[in-house]
Chain A
Amino acid sequence: MANGTVTIPRFEHRSIGEYIGIVVVLALVVSSIASTAPQLDALGRGIERLFAPSGLLAQMFPPDISRIDRISLKLLETLQMAVAGAALGLIFAVPFAILATDRLSPHPLVRAAARGVIALFRTIPDLVWAIFFIIMVGLGPAAGVLAIMVDKIGFAGRFFAEAMEEADTGPQDALRAIGASRMGIIFSAVFPACLPSFTATSLFALEKAVRGSAALGLVGAGGIGVDLKVAFDLFNYDEALTIILMLFALVMIVEQGSSWIRSKLI
């Protein structure tokens, strides 16, 4: 102090518990990498094979477009699955979200149940739902649509409910004070306030559905994923590339379209 120097410890003192915590986290990360990540030499050989003269990349080029008409049809089916699943999911997400919202739910037990359903739908991956629905309704796009629907109820239900929780309560209370019904309050005060965020969530749900619907086919739930899997299984890597490129184009178009709509609406 006398020399104008103030000594402030460079590091805060940590308790023994914090040290143990840090060590445990580090151990977890290192052991996970060691037991699951690829060995460097194996990775190197893999990359070598990928670029070899008769390797995967060489076999993929040029893309085989001989069956482009069938692929296009399946791509359309994929898009339809995504649109149908997302639309159904969004529609059913609304009542679940209302029941899950504090001030709109008729009873705390109902709210807890609705939140539970939404969490369940959201946490189980859509591929697992797809397998479940394939067992229920058989192979094909119907299982895919159901899987997307359930996944989107989980996704949109959560964000719809959050938007409604955050909506200004003043207008709702004012309508309640004049004796308006619950439905009246929801439709005339809550939905108009949440419209921008509902729209954004819906568009994200559609994008997610389009991206996800390709993978659903891999387990047999309809759409172009089925063809992609067959192409790989039969070593038709050039056709696989065509499918991947067209899928890429579809996803890009949907994402561009949806961000354009978002920019118009908000």
Chain B
Amino acid sequence: MNAPLRAAANKTDPALAGSVLSVSQLAKSFDGRIVLNGLDFTVKAGVATALIGANGSGKSTLMKCLIRLIEPSTGRIEMLGQDVLSLSPRGLRAFRAQVGVVWQKHNLVPRLSALSNVVHGVQARMSGPRAWFQSLAPDTVRAEALDCLDRVGLADRALQRVDSLSGGQQQRVAIARMLMQRPRIILADEPDASLDPQSGEEVMRLLSGLARQDGLTLIIISHRMEHTLEFSDHILGLQQGKIVMDRPTPGTDAAQLRRFFEHQE
């Protein structure tokens, strides 16, 4: 599972070979309280990067800053060849469309079917009523959505309401919706957090497997050390608003991670 993903990376757009994300001097304060304190890092194309840090260390804030769901105070973000912080509202929408996000909470629309929820992912590149419900979607979109559901193993639940699915299944539907976006990079903020150990591991395995198959860059936050070690190629450790650990996963062991967490105050 620790096999590096370089082979997969070759499948990506040649223009992206090298880094897909480079962050410099990124800072964010909330009402004068510093959360991100001018941090720098880069992420290579096709690499699965784990972002670790204690509760409140700013991992989610960092991830939201990357797609400007939170506006950073200062700094520079270059992602997918774009200067993220200088995008126009229109450019920002087009940029976000290429970034797949999986949250701790699945954030599906509960009263709709799994298939309708997956069809929503097409709104990244298509608007209008045909992207609102599976019943109105064109054949090609429906077929693609079904295919995405199939990739997460839920094709047989397509017309079931998502609020009648288990937590793990709901998270997989959310992943299928994210795939429907045809993302070039995936951000996942604790996708395993509200699931039991087995479902959590399945979701992590699924995400890293899908990213590898499609040669996508994956940035993933998890509080479970064994997941960090098993499903990443590289680890970034966040502490007091700075990246204090930046190392490949191979050669890192649980003891080192534990030491990282113990050196917090």
Interface set of A (CB-CB < 8 Å, partner B)? 168, 170-171, 173-181, 183-184, 187-189, 192-193, 195
Contact = CB atoms under 8 A, between A and B. Distances in A.
Contacts of A181: 123, 127
B69 A173 contact: yes
Interface string B101-124: 101010111111000100011011
A179 B93 contact: yes
A195 B123 CA distance: 21
Which of A168, A187, A188 has its CB near the most chain B CB atoms (within 10 A)?
A188
B94 A179 contact: yes
A178 B132 contact: no
Nearest to B92: A179
B181 interface: yes
Contact of B107 (A170, A179, A192): A170
A183 B127 contact: yes
Contacts of A168: 110
The list of the 8 closest CB pairs from A to B, nearest first, reads A174-B107, A180-B123, A170-B107, A179-B93, A179-B97, A179-B96, A188-B132, A187-B132
A184 B110 contact: no
Contacts of A170: 103, 105, 107
A178 B108 contact: no
Mostly, the A contact residues are: helix
A168 B99 CA distance: 23
A174 B127 CA distance: 16
Nearest to B100: A178
Contacts of B105: 170
B260 interface: no
Contacts of A193: 109-111
A184 B97 CA distance: 14
Interface in B48-67: 67
5 contacts: A170-B107, A179-B92, A179-B124, A184-B127, A195-B111
Contacts of A187: 129, 132
A177 B100 CA distance: 9
B133 interface: yes
B158 interface: no
B131 interface: yes
Residue of B67, B123, B131, B174 with most partner-chain A CB within 10 A: B123
A175 B94 contact: no
A180 B103 contact: no
A168 B106 CA distance: 12
Nearest to B111: A192
Question: Which of A177, A178, A192: most chain B CB closer than 10 A?
Answer: A178
A258 to B, nearest CB: 21
Nearest to A190: B109
Nearest to A177: B101
B231 to A, nearest CB: 22
B110 A188 contact: no
Nearest to A181: B127
A178 B133 contact: no
